[in-house]
Every structure is written in C-alpha cells, then in structure tokens.
Amino acid sequence: MNVLVTGAAGFVGQNLRIRLSREKDCTAFPFDVANTESELFEFLSKADRIVHLAGINRPPNPSEFMAGNLGLTSTIADALEKMQRPVPIIFSSSIQAELENDYGKSKRAAEERLKLYSERTSAPVRIFRFANIFGKWCKPNYNSAVATFCFNSAHGLSLTIHDPEAPLRLVYIDNVVDAIVRELTSELQGFSYVNAEPVYASTVGKVAAMIQDIHEKRQKGFIGDYSDSFYKKLATTYLSYVDIPSLATAPELKCDERGWLFELIKSEKAGQIFISTTKPGKKRGNHYHDTKVEKFCLIKGKAQISLRKVDSTERYDLEVDEQNIQVVDIPPGYTHSIENTGTEDCIVLFWANEIMDPTHPDTYRLEV
C-alpha cells in the first residue's frame, strides 16, 4: 500500500511516518513545504491512500488560513478528479471547525471540498476533527500549551497562564496515529466523521499544575500516579522535552563499610525501589517492620537471606545467587538480614511498599 502523507515533516506527520515504517507492505510518500507541486502530482498518481495532515494554523495574515487549508485540499481533490483516481482520503481537521473563527472556517471549507470529492468520485473520505494533540516532538511556544509547558518546565522557565480555567480538550499522539492507521487498514466506504480516543477534558491551569508536578517529582526521584492514563501520557510527553545531558542524574549514594545504597524510584502510591552493594562477609538488615513489607532480589553475587519471626526462635535461611534469580518477600513481624557469602560484592535490588520516613521509619533493630 502506497500512502501519501501531506504535512509529513510536522508533529503528527513525523509520528505517523515512523509508525507506517513498521507496517507490513506499506510505503509512505512524504510531502511537505519543501516539495514541489509536480512531486505532489506524481505522488497522487501512485497513492493507494492519502493522509492529509498539511495545513496552516498560525499565519501572519488571517486571509492565509483559507488559502492554506482549503487551497491544498482543493488542489488534491481537483487533481484526483482529473486523473479519475477515487483514492480514499483521511483528513486531519480540528474541533475548531465547529467554530466561526478564521481557522475553523478554513478547516470546515476543506471538509466540504472533500465531501464534494467523495460525492463526485465515490471515493471514501474520513474526517477527524481532532482535539488538541499532545505528545513527543510537538513544537513548543507555537500552538500547543502542553508542549510549551513541558518545554518551559524542563528548562527551568516560568509558565505563563492567562486564564487557568480555560477548557482544554486533549488527545495523545499515539492514540491519534492508532486511529489514522485503523482507517488506513480498513475497508472504507462513503464519507463520514471519525474519532481518535480517548479525549481528555481539563483546564489550562490543571494541565500546567500536573506538568509542574511531574517536573518537581523527577527532580526528587519520585514518579506520580501512572494508573492515571492522562498523567502517564503527560509524564511521557514531558520527558521528551528534557535535554539529553539532563536525562542522566546522579543519585545520593549512602556509603559505609558494607558498601553503598541508593534510592532508584519513589512513589507515594507504590513505595520505593533501592539498590545496594554488600562486600564479602558483610551483612545488612537485622531489623523488622510492623507494617512495612519488602522484596529482595539478588542480581549479582551470592548471599544468604535469613528470617525469624520476632517472637520465635525458629530461623529460616535462604541461599540465593545470580545463577538462580529469586524474588524473596519479607513479611511484617519477621526480623531479617542478608549476608554476602560470596567472594565478590553482591548487588541486591529492593522494593518496599512505602517510602522511608525518618520520623516514622517502622524499622526496629533485632538480630536474626
């Protein structure tokens, strides 16, 4: 399948082209401002499907809206009608088409031209009236509040918010691409409007606050509530605006004669993950918790994990090594330790179901 993608160098175009490169037997013809009209006609003569993403949304002169959005659409439809090629078209419109502003009028006019094309040629046409699209590679300080907030937060710049209560309807780029590919690979008939979902309803102020929260949590080694799909997608988007050198951060190493330990991830809802090294013959632990539970996983070396119920004399010893990886749960009310029984430093990955609180550590010394 040959797919002409107009606006191929743009935000949605970049993401769609990468997705299409993974589709079996699919060749994308990318068309953008750097291409010529003759190249467009050549692509139109070969295309099996068209994804029409190109458009103008912030011209210097409002009159350019109609020329840019209706103009190219008409050129494509006119050419296909002349070639007598009823090629299916998937068009990226906007929720602004429901409004009476210059941009919305131009998008609505483009929709009407495609409807006429469908009626004249019986070619299938699908119209997406996209909400505000967010995700990786969207240009900041242009026409996306999410992109601007993510970029500014990642670079220590202030967020300018004129109306915190202004509504925002947002859809994530991967859901947009999924919806476009769904239509590309379907048997299409007629003219219809289709959707990309889910659409998240929020406000400018709430979105800005969430992005600031994501930024501040990352600075402290925390992650937020990833069970919230909107928050997770915002966090994913935010990270794409962090400069490459800033992706690497140095944790605080806590060192003593046993080795070192550092906290990898902290979550207010899911506890924390930390990692330690322990030198040969050295032991960690010899304490218990009333409520806190943990998981131990030795990933390098050899060690013995020992447990004893605090009011019992019966002791349990578990031998672990890197040849037989095991995850050991540490229940509450059991004093426990881990001792390096090998000849090299061992490395252990730990998870605790709550973040360490120095004022209420729930940790009590007791030899196993």
Which residues are annotated as catalytic?
103
Query: At how many degrees (to 10) do helices 102-121 and 64-83 cross?
Result: 10
CA distance 23 to 20: 5
Count the neighbouring beta carbons within 10 Å of the beta carbon of residue 32. Answer: 14
CA distance 292 to 362: 7
97 in Cβ contact with 129 (< 8 Å): yes
Please provide residue 83's backbone torsions phi and psi, each rounded to the nearest 5 degrees. Answer: -75, -10
DSSP 8-state class, residue 161: -
CA distance 90 to 190: 12
CA distance 303 to 111: 68
Residues near 155 by beta carbon (within 8 Å), at least 6 away in sequence: 241, 243
CA distance 50 to 124: 11
